[in-house]
Amino acid sequence: MAWVTVRRAEDGKKRYQGRYRDASGAKRTVGTFSTDKAAMQAAVRAEIALAEGTWIDPRAGRITFKEYAQNVWLPSRHLEVTTYAAYASNLRIHFVPFFGDYPMARIMPALVQEWVNQAAKPTTIADKRRKGLSARSIVKYHVMLHSIFARAVADRIIPFNPCAATDLPKVITTRTRTLTPDEYTRLLAQIPPRFTVMVMTAIETGLRWGELVALRPRHVDTEARTVTVQDTIVEVSTKDSPTGRRMIVKPYPKDDEPRTVAVSQDLIDALLARIDDLGLGPADLLFPSRETEGGQPLSRGTFNTRYWRPAVQRSGIDFPVRMHDLRHAHASWLLAGGADLLSVMERMGHAQIQTTQKYLHTLGDADQRALAAFHATRSRASR
């Protein structure tokens, strides 16, 4: 039952405090008012909110964003190692520096909008100029921020989600250029010999980086001429790794069965020659960081900086090409050659066929080939 207590201020005038008990039975106040009626009404509203389950403990919102996000929200999530590391990194780099010291209850929609607006602008950090985030990145990070506040609402920390009405930048989809077979041949010629077979494997299998560097001789079936994806190696910052390790080997994929892809006899021969030359055992890594180390995983960053980008530059290709673009080229070439979507989806390890469909028109001559197919069909009908 709500009640009112009377207090006398320094000026001698009476002041009224609305009081009630929370779910634990502790006495609470809703503030001080100039009239008995206003104090009682406020206390009754608090009791009604408590009965309806919409009551928010005012003290709960005093926890800072940093404390809540790092100590409550993140540990409560059931995440893959890479996802956990990505979230920890996003908190450390993008969110804590801006929201960290704010009490959760004081973060309003205007403050979230300010973060969005500032994120798109270039900033100076440690005397180094950093480009603003792209619209796509801002939208992606905003999804994570929205999730943090949504959990805080569920935890009765705050009454509403301040991300609910954010004005986000428009994401403009740009058509990406796909590596052609001729460009790939030029690029392969510039790859250092110790990585040639790895790049050949990447273009012929379409494996992701983590799948590629986790391959071992036991994954290669010389009779069936297949390569099986059973593991992946994830590389994360030690600052954000839940295990404190930089390279983590784990079964892949977590929720799906391992996949097997057919390869050519030429690739099988190249893989066998590498296994023989290095004296690799069944459990050794096919593509370690150093061929004399006996199984240390190859770092994506090291490979890109020291070997891949210089090779792209030497090849004369006039647009940025990532190692991951070999995977895109693999899917595009398959579809351009007449492979059906379902087969390509299974080969790529895509969870949804919509992901595979985006490769249908990535090659520059896709529209011309479609037109040629149209005229070929029409000519047959005329005859």
Percent of the chain, pLDDT > 90?
46
What's the whole-number mean pLDDT along residues 76-102? 90
Residue 73: the pLDDT is 95
Q: Are 84 and 162 in contact (CB under 8 A)?
A: no
The neighbour count for residue 292, using CB atoms within 10 Å, is 7
The neighbour count for residue 289, using CB atoms within 10 Å, is 15
| Sign of the dihedral through C-alpha 306, 202, 222, 213 | positive
362 contacts: CB under 8 Å, gap ≥ 6: 175, 176, 178, 328, 332
Measuring CA to CA, how many Å separate 349 from each of 90, 253, 260, 262? 27, 9, 10, 13
Please check whether residues 116 and 262 belong to one and the same domain: no
Q: Render pLDDT for 178-194 as a digit per residue (tens, 0 to 9).
A: 899 999 999 999 999 99
Please check whether residues 108 and 241 belong to one and the same domain: no
Residue 238 — φ and ψ, nearest 5°? Answer: -65, -25
Please check whether residues 48 and 136 belong to one and the same domain: no
**pLDDT-derived band of residue 373, with 50, 70 and 90 as boundaries?**
low
Whether 227 maps to a domain, the answer reads yes
Token representation of residue 28: 């609470």
Residue 312 has pLDDT above 80, yes or no: yes
Residue 69 has pLDDT above 70, yes or no: yes
Residue 127 has pLDDT above 50, yes or no: no
Residue 58: the pLDDT is 67
Whether 187 maps to a domain, the answer reads yes
Which residue's entry shows tokens 């003290």? Answer: 59
What's the whole-number mean pLDDT along residues 315-326? 93
**Average of per-residue pLDDT values in the chain:** 85
Residues in the chain: 383
Q: Render pLDDT for 207-260 as a digit per residue (tens, 0 to 9).
A: 999 999 999 999 999 999 999 999 888 887 777 777 677 787 777 655 567 889
Q: Which helix (H) or strand (E) holds 355?
A: helix 353-357
Whether 300 maps to a domain, the answer reads yes
Q: Choose between 23 and 318: higher pLDDT.
A: 318
Please check whether residues 46 and 131 belong to one and the same domain: no
Q: Tell me which range, 48-52, 270-274, 289-293, is most confidently predicted by mean pLDDT.
A: 270-274
Please check whether residues 293 and 347 belong to one and the same domain: yes
Residue 100 — φ and ψ, nearest 5°? Answer: -45, -50
Q: Are 133 and 152 in contact (CB under 8 A)?
A: no
pTM passes above 0.85? no
Determine whether 82 is exposed, middle or buried from the number of CB atoms within 10 Å of its CB (0-12, 13-18, 19+). Answer: middle
Q: Are 230 and 258 in contact (CB under 8 A)?
A: yes
Domain extent at residue 82: 62-154
Whether 171 maps to a domain, the answer reads no
Residue 361 has pLDDT above 50, yes or no: yes
What's the whole-number mean pLDDT along residues 13-29? 82
**pLDDT-derived band of residue 10, with 50, 70 and 90 as boundaries?**
confident
Whether 172 maps to a domain, the answer reads no
CATH number at residue 36: 3.30.730
Residue 374 has pLDDT above 70, yes or no: no
Measuring CA to CA, how many Å separate 66 from each of 100, 138, 194, 290? 4, 19, 46, 40
| Lowest mean pLDDT segment, chosen from 210-214, 294-298, 379-383 | 379-383
What's the whole-number mean pLDDT along residues 96-110? 94
Please check whether residues 268 and 128 belong to one and the same domain: no
Token representation of residue 358: 């985006």
What's the whole-number mean pLDDT along residues 101-111? 94
- Number of DSSP helices (H) and strands (E) in the chain, helices first: 17, 10
| Number of domains the chain contains | 3
Residue 283 has pLDDT above 60, yes or no: yes
Residue 375: the pLDDT is 64
Q: Which helix (H) or strand (E) holds 23?
A: none
Q: Are 64 and 53 in contact (CB under 8 A)?
A: no
Residue 137 has pLDDT above 90, yes or no: yes
Q: Render pLDDT for 26-52 as a digit per residue (tens, 0 to 9).
A: 887 877 888 988 888 888 887 877 777
301 contacts: CB under 8 Å, gap ≥ 6: 235
